[in-house]
Structure 1
Amino acid sequence: MTTPFPDHDAEPTRMQVRIRYSHLGVLAALSPAYFGMVMATGIVSLAANQLAMTTLAHGLFWLNIVLYGVLWVLTVVRAIRYPRLFFGDMFDHLQGWGFFTSVAASGILGTQFVVLARNDAVAWVLWVTAVVLWIGLTYIIFTALFIKTHKPALKRGINGGWLLAVVAAQSIAALSVLLADHLGHPYKLEMNFFALSMWLWGGMLYIWMVSLIFYRDTFFRFAPDDLVPPYWINMGAMAISSLVGALLIINAPGAPYLASLLPFIKGFTIFYWATGTWWIPLLVVLELWRHVYKHFPVQYDALYWGAVFPLGMYAASTYQMDVAMGFGFMAIVGRIFLYMALVAWVTTFLAWLVKLWRWLCVRSVGQQQK
């Protein structure tokens, strides 16, 4: 499979990618990470439901169903009309990780169907979709990146977006735990074991990837345009990992081997949450450095959904961990971050609507001139 760019060490930046694709139209330039919109909307909906904002939670749930369906239609059409660009993105170090948003979006929407709609049938369909996508994308993308003859230097080829592969695995683990709670034995036991395995695999993958990301950011030049919004996934990947840990703790009474592992699960759940918490002040300082000190312009990009999602996930995971551990003092933290996530979601959604409106206006003018 050929790629739209020469396969050499100096791969193009995201801006160059967007410019290269723009002359073919919006569909050709559609980011594979656009399912991040579904991820962000879904987790804000679930966090709102935890804090008894049921009307908001259900409103975002129905919106998410529409967004998920539209994005799949656009993705399939893009793959058919522009296969070279589509698969070129999949095998690209800077773009390939975006495809994992489709896995996470399926898992999170499935979780919404379980929690908000009490509809396990649709949730199972989304679970199968997520698992099939995860298997295919994980082994196709990573195999392609392993065997590529020419690869970018580390400083150009990796960023926080790679951790979406971790989020994808953990979203499946979270949905698996919830579905397991509605199963009888022996399937309940097996589903919980699958969820535990995905949880541990995602944690190990995080350790591998974040080590490279930390090394890259510490020992190579870090420019404002290097701080892409998905760097917030550094925190978000740990937040969803702590959420799954909390769900496993709650499920322990129905799975004896989980009960025997409770000290281990509780320890790693707090470890994941603490690691995610550590990232927050650093990411805030880096954003201030980028936009205030370096005057980097703020304009809508699909990748900003990758910054909204971690805020919502941190809110949901903190609240769920507080319940699972019986702490009783962390719920306020979850509420604060939910409000922050809501502000971020509304801002990003309005920016997307403005961009969509401008595109429609330009297209309308172009058709009139013809």
Structure 2
Amino acid sequence: MTASGRAEQAGEVFSDLAEMSPAYFGLVMATGIISLAAFMMQHDTIALGLFYLNIGQYAFLCVLYAMRAWRYPRRFFGDMVAHLTGPGYFTTVAGTGILASQFMVLHENIVVGTALWMLAILLWVCLTYTIFTAFTVKREKPTLDKGINGGWLLAVVATQALSVSSALLAARIDQPYRLELNLMALSMWLWGGMLYIWMMSLIFYRYAFFSFSPGDLAPPYWINMGAMAISTLAGSLLILNAPHAPYLMSLLPFLKGFTVFYWATGTWWIPMLLLLGIWRYGYERFPFRYDPLYWGAVFPLGMYAASTWQMDHAMEFGFLTPLPRAFLYIALSAWVVTFVGMLCTLVRVLNGKRACSTSLQGDGDTRKK
């Protein structure tokens, strides 16, 4: 290949990097929570396989994000303060928190789990106050129907992921930090719930009072349910931690009531989202092809399975067991389909670049002759 051909091929690679979705850590979120749900339901082989895969995915995405920030800083940080793309960066927080939870639950590795938990806190603080401050002070802002979607609720998911990982860490260490960690888990759980109420009010208003096209119904709208599912999981862990924190014991009726409230709200969303999906793909014939945002639809399915299983255990219901098992299989199926779609898309892109490279090489040889 000629020098000009190699330069053009490298330019195409970097161009793809520039277009990379800020929400790609949804892959880590989806893989991680399905792994945890499988472990809860004693599918250890699946759980551990997805855990090791998730470590590789997380490391690879960290490299890609760092390369994107270095090569295209204006695009990287510009997406961060844009209304439609900025909240996608919260997948880095949620993905880091869920991977921390995997280390603590699947391997009982408190050291790595704690390090990832601290990184998730740092990311949460930086992103929360960067993104929402930028949204507030921007002079030019989109209208509500053009500036908000279900992806905004990733801020809720990120907050609740910290609550979950804090509660899991609190259950695995002794004093003097157990009480403090439980308080942090409680505080993040409460703030995440309040943030959901604020954002969901705007999203529901956008649903009902603005025109809605099939293209507007992006997969992150499943986060409407996923945000409530992870809130249910966090609440269930706080209930289980209550015997070790007196202030949690005093709040136990409140914790149980709001945990069921979150679960019921998330459950209500499932038929609604299915109907909207039928309208999008069936009635409106919207093309069904791989998009990184589909991981935002896989994650809520896995989270609903995990949260329902944990709530059934924490509340001692005993009759909900078949529901999370069914959703685990649904989530696994959705994960496999989306993962295969991702691989097929990657292969097509690489084959296209290889064909382009061959063409460039042939042109170079012709010119030499």
In the TM superposition, what are the counterparts of 1:205-284 in structure 2 within 5 Å?
A: 205-284=195-274
Check the 8 A contact 1:22/1:28 in 2, yes or no.
no
Which residue number in structure 2 is paired with residue 303 of structure 1? 293
User: Is 1:147 paired with 2:137?
Assistant: yes
Q: Give the TM-score taking structure 1 as reference length.
A: 0.93
* Cα shift readout 1:224-256 (whole Å, capped 9, x = no counterpart): 000000000000000000000000000001111
The partner residue of 1:135 within 125, 135, 139 is: 125
- Written as runs of structure 1 = structure 2, the 5 A alignment for 1:44-55 is 44-55=34-45
Q: Deviations over 1:127-175 (max 9, x none)?
A: 0110000000000000000000000000010010100000000001100
**SS at 1:112 equivalent:** helix
Q: Which residue of 1 aligns with 2:22?
A: 32
Percent identity among equivalent residues? 62
Give 1:185 shift: 1.9
Q: TM-score, normalised by structure 2?
A: 0.94
Query: Equivalents in 1 of 2:168, 2:211: separation in Å?
Result: 43
Shift of 1:83: 0.5
Give the aligned partner of residue 276 of structure 2.
286
Paired position in structure 2 for 1:369: 359
Give distance in 1, aligned partners of 2:76 and 2:232: 33
Per-residue deviation, residues 310-361 of structure 1 (Å, max 9, x unmatched): 0000000000000000000011100010011011000000000000001111
What amino acid does structure 2 have at the position aligned with 1:213?
I
Show structure 2 runs of 5+ residues with no match.
Answer: 1-10, 361-369
Match of 1:159 among 149, 154, 164: 149
Provide closer, same or farther for how the CA distance between residues 317 and 82 of structure 1 changes in structure 2, counting only shifts above 3 A.
Answer: same
Q: 1:188 aligns with which of 158, 166, 178?
A: 178
CA distance in 2, matches of 1:50, 1:185: 27
Cα shift at 1:24: 5.8
- Letter of the aligned partner of 1:224 in structure 2? P
Aligned pair partner of 2:312 in 322, 340, 364: 322
Aligned to 1:43: 33
Structure label with greater radius of gyration:
2
Alignment correspondent of 2:92: 102
Query: Quick check: 1:236–1:314 contact (8 Å CA) kept in 2?
Result: yes
The structural deviation recorded for 1:186 is: 2.6
Which amino acid is the alignment partner of residue 75 of structure 2? L
Per-residue deviation, residues 1-60 of structure 1 (Å, max 9, x unmatched): xxxxxxxxxxxxxxxxxxxx9896211101010000000000010111111100000000
Letter in 1 for 2:167: V
Whether contact under 8 Å (1:35, 1:102) holds in the other structure is yes
* 4+ aligned runs moved over 3 Å, structure 1: 21-24
> Runs of 5+ in structure 1 lacking a partner?
1-20
Query: Hey, what does 1:17 align to over in structure 2?
Result: none
Q: Is the 8 A contact 1:22 1:29 kept in 2?
A: no
Counterpart secondary structure, 1:185: coil
* CA–CA separation in structure 1 for the residues paired with 2:176 and 2:109: 22
Greater relative contact order: 1 or 2 (C-alpha under 8 angstroms, separation 6 or more)?
2
| Cα distance per residue 1:255-277 (max 9 Å; x no partner) | 11101100000000000000000
Alpha-carbon distance between aligned partners in 1 of 2:33 and 2:301, rounded to the nearest angstrom: 9
Contact 1:43 1:108 in 2 (8 A): yes
Q: What are the Cα deviations for residues 181-218 of structure 1, in whole angstroms up to 9, with x where unaligned?
A: 12222310011000000000000000000000000110
Amino acid of the structure 2 residue aligned with 1:343: S
Give the secondary-structure state (helix, strand or coil) at the position aligned to 1:33: coil
> Residue type of the partner of 1:149?
R
Is 1:80 the equivalent of 2:45?
Answer: no
Contact kept? 1:305, 1:348, Cα under 8 Å: yes
- Tell me the equivalent position of 1:115: 105
Equivalence for 2:366 = none
Amino acid in structure 2 at the alignment position of 1:250: L
Q: Distance in 2 between matches of 1:149 and 1:187?
A: 44
Residue among 56, 65, 84 paired with 2:46: 56
